[in-house]
Amino acid sequence: MTPSDDRPAPAAPGRSEPHEDRWIETPRGGLFFINSLFVFPYLMVLVPLLTRLFVRGVVGGLPGESTILDTFPLLAEYLAPRYGWLAALPIVLVVKNLGMEPQRLPRTVLWSLLLLHAAVLVWTLTGWAGLHGFDLPGGPAGS
């Protein structure tokens, strides 16, 4: 081993320290990525749900069933009573990730993810308690 082998590698352009890991390649960044993937099922329901609320509630159109607007919300109405409790698993992962993440922006996103997962879990639990019938707003007329 020569003396030149002991020196740290030079910093990459735009980086302040040599051998600085990319954030997403760290354990906390990887867990953040996994946590962000758990939001996808909610988006699959929320986009058509908000669209149908706007179309039926604000514009007053599409009084009957619509394949585009009603498929995912109707599927959510069917699956949430059975699988909504699974939102507890991402809650545990988000809390774990919050304990290891020092940066402000990722912590802010993690808190919003935690609120979203908690809302799904509370909605499921209140449905089980009989406070609502797992019906999502903006459904077709007569449903």
Q: Is the predicted pLDDT of residue 136 greater than 70, yes or no?
A: yes
1, containing H or E segment: none
Angle (CA) 108-113-118 rounded to 5° is 125
Least confident span in 8-17, 29-38, 99-108, 131-140: 8-17
The pLDDT, as a whole number, for residue 106 is 92
Predicted confidence band of residue 57 (pLDDT cuts 50, 70, 90): confident
pLDDT band at 2 (very low <50, low <70, confident <90, very high): low
Rounded to whole angstroms, how far apart are CA atoms 75 and 99? Answer: 34
Do 90 and 113 touch, CB atoms closer than 8 A?
A: yes
- How many whole angstroms separate alpha carbon 122 and alpha carbon 73? 18
Residue 27 tokens, joined: 């354990």
121 neighbors 130 (Cβ within 8 angstroms):
no
Q: Which two tokens stand for residue 53?
A: 């609320």
Whole-number Å distance between alpha carbons of 143 and 139: 7
